[in-house]
Every structure is written in C-alpha cells, then in structure tokens.
C-alpha cells in the first residue's frame, strides 16, 4: 500500500480526518487546546480543499445548536471544544443525543475551573458521560485522525443515529507531533458514503422535530435512545473491522488488551497515558512480573463484557483515573467496578486518581501501582482509592 505520512500534531490530525470526511457544516468556537484544529479547518476551507460551510459562531452553545440545526436538514456536521466550552455546551449535548442527530465532535481533554487550568485531565468529558453521546478516547494522533472518519460511520449508522465525541488529551496529544498516515480521499469516500437519514426536515416530507413529550411517551423515547447506544457496540466492531481491511490499521473495538493473556494484574486506563503504561508493562514483564494493560477506548457505550471477561482471567485490577467524582472515587473506576461486581469471583481492586490539571504520570508511579496490585493478590496490601501523587487515600 502506498503511504503518505506527514509530521503533524494531534489537533492537525483531527483536522485532516475532518477534511477527509467531507462535512457540510463546521461550527466551532476557539478554546485552548482545541484551537489548532479549527484554525487548520478554516485554512482548508479558505484554500478550497473543503466545500463545507465554516460558521464563526459566537459561543460553544451556538456551535452545538448550529450543528444540530444543520444535521436536522440532513447535513454532515463537525464541532470541536474542550473543558469550559464543553460544559457550556452541556444543554446542547443532551439535546443533540435526544434529537438523534449524529454530530461528530472532537474534545481536547482539559481540566475544569476552578482553579483555572488549560492543561489536561479528563474531568470535562467524564463529567458528561450521561449526556447520551458515544465517547471514545484515543492514544495518539493517528488514532485521532482515524477515529474521526470512523466516528461518522458509527454515529450515522441507521441503528445508532447518536452523536459521537472523539477525546484526545490536551497538549499531550493535541500539541505533540507525530508521523501520521493520511489516507487517500478516494479510499475514505469508498469507506464513508454520504450521510443519509430519515430523521430530517425536508420539503418532500415535512416534519416537526425537537418536540415535547408527555409522561405517557417520554420513557419510550429514552428507551430507544439507550437501545441505540447498545446497538452501537456491534456497529463499532463492524466499522473497526471494515476500517482495518481498508486502511490496514485496527483499533481492537471497545478495548485493547496489551499483554493481558496470562496476566495476574492489569491496569485500566484511557487515552495517552496508555503509552506510558505499555512501557512499564514491558519493563516489568522483562523482570518476570505478569502485568498487563487494558486500554478502554469507549466509555459509552461501556465495554462491560470486555471488562468482565478480563476480570475472570486476572486476580487484580487497578484503574488510573484522570478525574475524581468529589466525595466518592474516579468515574472510570466506578464504571469498571460495576462490571466486575457482576461476576462471581473476587478480584483485588484499587483506584489511582491523578494526572489532574496536566500533572505528569510517571513510569515510577505506574510501577508503584502495579506493585500495589501484585502485593494485593498476596494479601500484603489493602484495596484503596488514592490520590497517587499525594500518597493519600481519597478519604484520609
């Protein structure tokens, strides 16, 4: 296969993925560290490399409202945000999933004020897990580009019709440069056909959308929305398989297991930190320790089957959370723990909360986490929920 690799940042990789997906309407408001994506897109529109309408909206709330409006007449749409901007969209996020408009969004994961921080953690998107969007977390710039293309195919599938958020860690992924393979437009066009939806206003078949429901009907609509999210699991598999056949890159569906085959203990993580965990896994494996990584790609729909399957095979599971649900534990941990609780087996568990507001997660810290889990299966350590860089348990 002919290759076309260029040296670009994660933000630029997203812009390339968007260009190749041919959206009709792009509406976005600038926010660090998402800005490079929308700058590149506006340059592509200016240069005539894209046909879409680029809307200079005056806020994130209008960005999501405008993309919903465009989607409601059958247009393919893109928006991008981060942190405070994503939270400002929150009303629209629920509205969009309820309206079944398959908007695709890039979210540059960034901490949430106060205190202000432009740096990365995952509190922005994880605090919005319940808004009805498919959420995927990527590990590098290539995956970011590829997932934008996949996102349209998944979100627009007739059984799904659900918006999708592609998350990449602020600065660590958005602003670092990698060699990224840029697929050929012709191949993307073959992979991703034009958007077709029954859920649109048209002059041939006028519709009233965005309507009110009474208590007699509301649950049925919410049931259908939930069904679509479950159906997305199969569609995610099909699309990833088709993508692998077409472009030669496979992302292992809902989760990726790294050296988990015979592992005793496994760390679960999302996004860019997975790269660091892989390095630590290799080092500890070389020293004879049976450790592995479970990279969760999709937080919604949640990979419950995959987590349960892994839990059947290992003795201890730790979860790295770049977020905290104040007064309890990390949100990823809550979700993982819920899946583990559904199997009839004891698994030693711990939650490692950190990397907040852009703080590095070091290899030494990850090694400590693995050692804590290994000690746990020998009853030499206790389960804990810990702010690991502070060395304190969350309820101390």
Choices 56-64, 133-141, 333-341, 383-391 (CB under 8 A): range interacting with another protein: 56-64
DSSP per position, 321-384: ES---TTS--HHHHHHHHHHTTSSS--EEEEEE--GGG----HHHHHHHHHHHHHHHTTSS---
Nearer to another protein, 18 or 64 (CB): 64
Strand partners, 177: 9
Four-CA torsion 62, 116, 40, 140, nearest 10 degrees: -120
The runs of H, that is alpha helices, within 23-140 are 35-46, 60-71, 83-88, 90-99, 123-126
Which one of 47, 48, 58, 344 is in contact with another protein (CB under 8 A)?
Answer: 58
What does the alpha-carbon distance between residue 69 and residue 81 come to, in Å, rounded to a whole number? Answer: 18
CB of 77 to another protein, least distance (A): 8
Contact status, residue 353 vs residue 321, Cβ threshold 8 Å: yes
Where is 222: in which H helix or E strand? helix 215-247
Residue 48 in the binding site for another protein (CB under 8 A):
no
Q: What phi-psi label fits residue 140: left (phi over 0), alpha (psi between -120 and 50 degrees) or beta?
A: beta
CB of 226 to another protein, least distance (A): 18
Residue 301 in the binding site for another protein (CB under 8 A):
no
Range 99-128, binding another protein (CB under 8 A): none
Nearer to another protein, 186 or 214 (CB): 214
Size of the site for another protein (CB under 8 A): 43
Which one of 2, 115, 196, 206 is in contact with another protein (CB under 8 A)?
Answer: 206
Residue 52 in the binding site for another protein (CB under 8 A):
yes
Residue 203 in the binding site for another protein (CB under 8 A):
yes
Range 62-101, binding another protein (CB under 8 A): 62-75, 77, 91-92, 95
Residue 222 in the binding site for another protein (CB under 8 A):
no
What does the alpha-carbon distance between residue 354 and residue 109 come to, in Å, rounded to a whole number? Answer: 14
Residue 224 in the binding site for another protein (CB under 8 A):
no
Burial of 88-111, coded b for 16+ CB within 10 Å and e otherwise, reads: bbeebbebbbebbbbbbbbbbbbb
Range 182-201, binding another protein (CB under 8 A): 201
Choices 33-41, 212-220, 328-336, 338-346 (CB under 8 A): range interacting with another protein: 212-220
DSSP letter at 395 equals: T
Which one of 14, 15, 55, 145 is in contact with another protein (CB under 8 A)?
Answer: 55
Choices 19-27, 141-149, 227-235, 275-283 (CB under 8 A): range interacting with another protein: 19-27
Binding site for another protein (CB under 8 A): 24-25, 27, 51-53, 55-59, 61-75, 77, 91-92, 95, 201-203, 206-214, 217
């Amino acid at each position: 296969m002919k290759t076309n690799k260029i040296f670009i940042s994660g933000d630029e990789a997203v812009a390339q993925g968007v260009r190749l997906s041919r959206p009709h309407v792009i509406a976005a408001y600038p926010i660090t560290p998402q800005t490079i994506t929308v700058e590149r897109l506006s340059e592509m529109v200016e240069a005539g490399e894209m046909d879409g309408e680029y809307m200079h909206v005056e806020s994130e709330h209008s960005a999501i409202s405008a993309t919903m409006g465009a989607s409601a007449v059958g247009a393919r749409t893109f928006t991008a945000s981060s942190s405070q901007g994503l939270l400002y969209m929150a009303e629209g996020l629920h509205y969009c999933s309820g309206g079944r408009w398959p908007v695709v969004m890039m979210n540059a994961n960034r901490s949430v004020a106060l205190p202000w921080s432009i740096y990365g953690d995952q509190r922005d998107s994880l605090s919005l897990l319940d808004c009805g969007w498919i959420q995927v977390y990527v590990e590098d710039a290539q995956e970011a580009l590829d997932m934008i293309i996949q996102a349209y195919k998944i979100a627009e599938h007739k059984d799904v019709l659900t918006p999708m958020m592609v998350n990449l860690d602020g600065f660590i992924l958005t602003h670092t440069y990698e060699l990224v393979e840029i697929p050929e437009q012709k191949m993307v066009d073959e992979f991703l056909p034009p958007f077709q939806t029954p859920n649109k206003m048209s002059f041939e078949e006028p519709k009233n959308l965005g309507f009110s429901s009474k208590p007699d009907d509301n649950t049925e609509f919410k049931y259908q929305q939930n069904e679509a999210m479950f159906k997305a699991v199969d569609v995610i598999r099909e699309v990833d398989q088709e993508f692998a056949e077409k472009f030669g890159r496979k992302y292992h569906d809902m989760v990726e297991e790294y050296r988990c085959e015979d592992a005793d203990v496994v760390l679960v993580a999302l996004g860019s930190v997975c790269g660091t965990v892989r390095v630590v896994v290799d080092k500890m494996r070389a020293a004879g320790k049976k450790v592995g990584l479970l990279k969760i790609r999709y937080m919604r729909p949640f990979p419950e089957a995959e987590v349960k399957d892994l839990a059947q095979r290992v003795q201890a599971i730790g979860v790295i959370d770049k977020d905290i649900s104040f007064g309890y534990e990390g949100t990823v941990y809550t979700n993982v723990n819920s899946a583990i609780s559904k199997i009839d087996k004891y698994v030693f568990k711990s939650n490692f909360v950190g990397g907040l507001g852009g703080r590095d997660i070091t290899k030494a810290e990850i090694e400590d986490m693995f050692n804590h889990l290994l000690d746990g299966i020998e009853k030499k350590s206790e389960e804990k929920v810990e702010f690991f860089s502070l060395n304190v348990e969350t309820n101390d």
